[in-house]
Chain A
């Protein structure tokens, strides 16, 4: 009323605020080069290790390597997002932001955008290393591998965001990793085909999103073109990511006790 400038109230989605948030998250990471190095180098190192663990059976490397290209971004982004959001909650910056004209969607999209960018870099390097230097034999397009990796990263970001609402400390947040990720890792078909599991476990694996992430990677590995199964897998992973992002948004409360 007495202000000369009236600002938008910020309940709707704002492109500028979203990019500002993404830029801020990336700046935070840039001031922490060790985290970036770990996020980018560790997956490459693991693939390298895997390649020589399966030195005698390159076909096993193909299948596990392709699956891991989908799993790495999910795990990394899950960890980074859950800790980052938890820090945002505990440091009071979340309370401050929500008292400002920032939409919840801006904040979540900002995080997704920042970590998505990072996931692209991570996946490009890991996929490039696996395909060109470690001899990972992929029949489909490397772009499709990248697409799946990106969706997995989004799913990881979404899960991390959601889970951070239930963690009161960094210790708890880290413990959610084995609780949320490990069961999916065991049941996603990485170690043994899902069809040869106990029927009960197979049924559970049917509703876990990581199963479809790994499935999509294997489709790209074995087929030169885009198969209907691949499309289904990609849609399921994307749908899960959006669903969990929505749940995550619901955990951001402007008013807290």
Chain B
């Protein structure tokens, strides 16, 4: 289990994307939150899911993880339909609000989730090792004995992240993991994400509403109002829109889309 995480030879590029969506639509109540999306998330890389608050990022993420109801269209995750039981141990998921037990210590939280992923007495040593490492990965070793409820918001979200790192998921889905963190920590976490993608060969899908985080991703999905504006690498996106930052590129695409619909309406 541990030996695969260290510097394994680079796999031949896997042509099959980690996530592939076709005509993906999600309805919540009476509102269509995601409308007819088509996109792919490449394997072994960090894909940023960027867009303003309320554009449907969390809904998309919940659909990928398989906790969202009323999903239509096709959505394949690691070669299986999203929500398939066999995917549950292959995906690490961090919800937007830290989902940990406030009345357990950091270590007790991880011990429990580790026991769900890798149950049984014979696995106890392996679990212990995995937990210690996950706590070290998110830089909380000195807080391992503290109750999660007494930690700061940023620390609690790192506990939540550590849970997702347990068990070496092939796909890590992180909903706004860096919100409210100080810049140093944010940099460290992004370094960790890159390490996970490069060394463990995992795929990461990271959402954020902060556009400058886009520059740290290897590929991007830009979202607005339930639609995908662009599905490209940051470089290609900037080049295509002849802008300097992803934020400018986003604005450019929004204006372009508005121009298109306005144009169509005048034609009509």
Contact = CB atoms under 8 A, between A and B. Distances in A.
Contacts of A20: 112, 115-116, 119
A97 B89 CA distance: 11
Interface string B50-72: 00000000000000011111110
A99 interface: yes
6 closest A-B pairs by CB: A92-B99, A16-B119, A20-B115, A7-B89, A255-B69, A24-B112
A101 interface: yes
Nearest to A91: B99
A5 B69 contact: no
Interface in B163-205: 163, 167-168, 170, 201
Task: State the main secondary structure of chain A at its contact with B.
Answer: loop
A98 B67 contact: yes
Given A2-B201, A4-B1, 16 more contacts: A3-B90, A21-B112, A21-B116, A24-B101, A27-B104, A28-B103, A91-B102, A95-B67, A96-B163, A99-B65, A100-B88, A253-B69, A255-B69, A255-B71, A255-B83, A256-B69
B29 interface: yes
B19 interface: no
Interface in B147-177: 147, 163, 167-168, 170
Contact of B116 (A11, A17, A32): A17
Interface string B14-55: 000000000000001100000000000000000000000000
- The majority secondary structure among interface residues of chain B is loop
Interface string B91-103: 1010101111111
Interface residues of B, number: 49
A170 to B, nearest CB: 14
Contacts of B168: 3, 5
A257 B97 contact: no
Most buried by A among B99, B104, B116: B116
A241 interface: no
B108 interface: yes
Interface residues of A, number: 38
A2 to B, nearest CB: 6
A31 B104 contact: yes
A68 to B, nearest CB: 29
Interface of A: 1-11, 14, 16-17, 20-21, 23-24, 27-28, 31-32, 91-93, 95-102, 253-257
Interface of B: 1, 3-4, 11, 28-29, 65-71, 78-79, 83, 85-86, 88-91, 93, 95, 97-105, 108, 112-113, 115-121, 147, 163, 167-168, 170, 201
14 contacts: A3-B4, A4-B1, A5-B118, A20-B116, A21-B112, A27-B104, A31-B105, A93-B99, A95-B67, A96-B163, A99-B65, A99-B67, A255-B71, A255-B83
A254 B79 CA distance: 20
B119 A14 contact: yes
Contacts of B68: 255-257
Contacts of A255: 66-69, 71, 83
A16 B120 contact: yes
Contacts of B118: 5, 7
A101 B66 contact: no
Nearest to B4: A4
Nearest to B113: A100
A154 B29 CA distance: 35
Contacts of B83: 254-255
A257 B26 CA distance: 9
A91 B66 contact: no
B69 A28 contact: no
Contacts of B116: 10, 17, 20-21, 97, 100-102
Given A2-B201, A7-B167, A254-B66, A101 B29 contact: no
A32 B103 CA distance: 7
Given A7-B89, A257-B69, A96 B95 contact: yes
Given A24-B104, A255-B67, A257-B69, A96 B115 contact: no
Nearest to A97: B116
Contact of A3 (B66, B79, B103, B170): B170
Nearest to A106: B116
Contacts of A21: 112, 116
A31 B95 contact: no
Contacts of B108: 24, 27
Q: Which of A32, A253, A255 has the most CB of B within 10 A?
A: A255
Contacts of B85: 9-11, 101
B163 A99 contact: no
A54 B122 CA distance: 56
